[in-house]
Amino acid sequence: MTTLFLIGTMVVVGALIGGITNSIAIKMLFRPYKAIYIGKWRVPFTPGLIPKRRVELAEQLGKLVTTHLLTAEGLKKKLESSVFMTEITEWLKKEVKHLLRSNENITSVIERWFGMPDGKQKIERKVEAWLDNKSNELLTELRPKLVGEVIPENLNEKLEQYIPELTSIFIEKGKKYFESEDGMERLSHMVDRFLSGRGTLGGMVSMFLGNERLVDKIQPEIIKMFNDEGTHELVEVFIRKEWEKLKQLKLEEIEEHIDLEEIVHFLKEKVKTNVPMHYLDQPFHEWTHQYEQQMINDLTPKFVKKIGQATSRELVHLLKKLQLEDVVKSQVEQFSVSRLEDMVLSISRREFKLITYLGAILGGLIGLFQGIILIFLR
């Protein structure tokens, strides 16, 4: 009985020593959180291992994450995975469909997603400022240039092809004018001024022929002149020459006669009136139904594909710019030791208990062997 009591006592004591020792060793990984001093003497093993090496631990975790966990190759493989791309595409399709069928509008989306109050007014001001800037740049760029350099080649060809027709219109208008009553009256006044400017000779001609008879003789001759092919050719050549002269002028030279700024302002206002700003306040479902299928089935997959390709292509540079190693390091350094302890224990609590129990078992076995050896020695 004494022998069994001795062996049992040694087993219990060994188990307690092994279990308690392992438990203390595990606790010393984290505790004490801070160094303990007696006077100027620091108590050994304070602080615990992890608090003491927290900076090194943060550095190693940062390297571990960037070197073995979040690697460019692994992320690239994930991004290029057909399953991942399909999942992202389907998710984005649902979001786009929900947005297009909602009562949201562009203004509310800008305000809610981008934090821009008065989004419509800002967009209108941006558009107007952009148009003003571009129109001023355009005027500055065009003023030193020749008219012929500014006019597009195809427009120049159309204008030159239109000259014969323009000549015909000009001649036809002139002929109709001189055939009209206003034309006859104007011609009569011109004859009067002509004769009065010739003194006695003009008076004699007016007295013998009479004003009306002279006008009646001149008017048919003018009509004949308009009908003559030579007149058409003469006018066409004149218009072509003037057009060529005009093309050799600089815009700043003709600006003395034509207000280019007024023309540009007119064009700018036309552009502004044709920009569909009303869509900014109109709910999506009222005007996007005709584009819905195209945006969901065509544009969305292309958008996801392009974004995926661009991200995959620039992934190495993106990871370098993100500096994940420094991010992980700074985050771990900011953790309190108690939080680190909770994190580790939440993962390894069961294993730590098994280590404690294993220490108790080993201590008990050692006590058993010691008891047996002690009995044999006695």
Q: What is the DSSP letter of 38?
A: E
The pLDDT value recorded for residue 201 is: 47
Do the domain assignments include residue 209? yes
From 137, 144, 136, select the one nearest 250 (Cα to Cα).
144
Do the domain assignments include residue 42? no
Do the domain assignments include residue 267? no
The pLDDT value recorded for residue 376 is: 77
Q: Count the domains in the chain.
A: 1
Do the domain assignments include residue 219? yes
Do the domain assignments include residue 37? no
288, 276 contact by CB (below 8 A)? no
Q: Which amino acid is at 236?
A: E
- As a whole number of angstroms, the distance between CA 314 and CA 32 comes to 46
Do the domain assignments include residue 206? yes
Do the domain assignments include residue 205? yes
C-alpha dist (Å) from residue 68 to 76, 112, 206, 288, 311: 14, 38, 114, 46, 20
- What are the 10-residue block averages of pLDDT along the chain, 378 residues in total? 76 84 80 77 75 77 77 81 88 88 78 70 77 79 82 85 88 85 78 60 48 67 82 87 86 74 74 68 79 86 87 80 79 74 74 82 84 77
The pLDDT value recorded for residue 214 is: 66
The pLDDT value recorded for residue 192 is: 67
CA atoms within 13 Å, Cβ hemisphere of 69: 10
Range of the domain at 160: 151-230
- As a whole number of angstroms, the distance between CA 160 and CA 155 comes to 9
The pLDDT value recorded for residue 91 is: 92
The SS3 of residue 1 is: coil
- As a whole number of angstroms, the distance between CA 74 and CA 324 comes to 15
- Kindly give, in sequence order, each residue whose CB lies less than 8 Å from that of residue 178, ignoring residues fewer than 6 positions away: 184, 187, 219, 222, 223, 226
Question: 40-63: per-residue pLDDT in tens?
Answer: 787 777 777 777 777 787 787 778
| pTM (2 d.p.) | 0.48
Do the domain assignments include residue 224? yes
